[in-house]
Amino acid sequence: MEGSIDRVIAALELREPDRVPTFDVMEEYANIYEILGKKPVPLGFLVTNRYAGWVIDKTAPLINRLHLLDSEMDSFSYDRTAASVKFGYDSAWVMHVPIWRFRDTNVGEDIYGRYYDFVVDKKGNIGTPMYRGGMLKGPADWDAWDKRDILRYPARTNRAFKPIQKDFGDKIVVMGSFLYGLFEMSWQPFGFDRWAVAVHREKDFMHRYIKFYEDWYCMMIEAMADAGLPGVVYSDDMAYKSGPMISPKMMEEFYGDAFRRIAETAHRLGMKIVVHSCGNVYQLLEWYADCGFDGVHALEPTAGIELSKVKEMVGDRMCLLGNMDITHILVDAGREEVFEAVRSSIEAAGKGGGYMVAPTNSHPDISLERLHWMLEAVEEYGKYPLSV
């Protein structure tokens, strides 16, 4: 019987392991601390309580200067990995995102030039902030942007992942990650309309801007490899539910060389690399494979993705991860329905290896009970040789 490490590597290399591996994407305080049996501090009161909000408004510059939110993100990345191990996953997508700053009680900024609404879940925890807009108006704003925190990020990520890999790396495959990918990085700080102007009228600037983040992304991968991580998730939402946000031709023109270099950097350092994008990515799948990614995640059924079709298109070139619906199946479906969803996905993509069962994304309403059912169903239906 193989352990988690061998099982995951076999799947990423398109070989049959002893059973279909599982991949955790949970990034929500409430579920993670419930798994660990810890009582989280409900930091949402900083947003919802007007008195606490008044304090935040007054002390935001000091909080930002002391990097207090960054320290919280370090602890969170460690705890979410511990939760994956305790829950019984084979692999985990572990984000380290010390990027947010308080503007005031309700609005945050990040080190790249975006601003956000802070979000509070039903249990009073601060959730992933919701992107609201960009702070950069054009090339002059970018050239004047304070990049010191961006350039400190690789060293901080290296320090954060070293204890994670040391304590959990023999139990689970830690796939490191950070925010954001090059496509999101290039349009969100400006807003989509301003980005559209830049890629048509300011191409030299946009290529220079993307090149900065390409070099930086490769440095981040180097930092995670130095920490001992075996893999990385390249997270970059590039599609709506109807299809790619821009044409595949334009994706290649602006991001193709960078994507290939990012994948080559990971491979040169002995790492596996998985690309994540929400939405309907049919038109991008062959391109992902051509760029050199070892796997692709989310493969959302609610975006019209049929796993059997993806297997036929690129299953001989990339490992497929995901396809477990987070709008119903892992939220409020019955046990039999969860089992059937797992069985169906394994039947569609598990033959010959190259598939890992995983939720399509993280969400505060995902049920731990249903995640347990998902793992139980993998034990029932996912052992090779497959009987489904």
- Interval 83-127: pLDDT, tens: 999 999 999 999 999 998 888 878 889 999 999 988 877 777 777
Query: What pLDDT score was predicted for residue 111?
Result: 96
Tokens of 203: 């191409």
For residue 364, the SS3 value is coil
Q: Name the one residue in this structure whose structure tokens are 């995102």.
A: 97
Structure tokens at 375: 């793992």
Provide the CB-side half-sphere exposure for 386 (13 A, CA). Answer: 23
At residue 67, the pLDDT reads 77
Buried b (16+ CB within 10 A) or exposed e, 288-314: bbebbbbbbbbbbbebebebeebbeeb
Give CA separation, 268 vs 218, 271, 273, 290, in Å. 11, 7, 11, 17
Average pLDDT per block of 10 residues along the chain, 388 residues long: 92 98 93 88 68 70 73 92 98 96 86 90 77 96 97 97 98 97 97 96 98 98 98 98 97 98 98 98 98 98 98 98 98 98 98 98 94 98 93
| Res 387: pLDDT | 86
Q: Rg (Cα) of the chain, in Å, rounded?
A: 20
The whole model's pTM is what?
0.95
pLDDT by residue (tens digit) across 140-180?
Answer: 999 999 999 999 999 999 999 999 999 999 999 999 999 99
Q: Is the dihedral of CA 192, 187, 363, 247 positive or negative?
A: positive
> Domains plus CATH for the chain?
4-41+78-100+154-381 (3.20.20.210)
On the 0-12 / 13-18 / 19+ scale of CB atoms within 10 A, 245 is middle
Cα first-last separation, the chain: 20
The contacts of residue 377 (CB under 8 Å, 6+ apart) are 338, 339, 341, 342, 343
Q: Which of 190, 281, 288, 284 lies closest to 233, judged by CA?
A: 288
Give kind and range of the element (H or E) at residue 115: strand 114-117
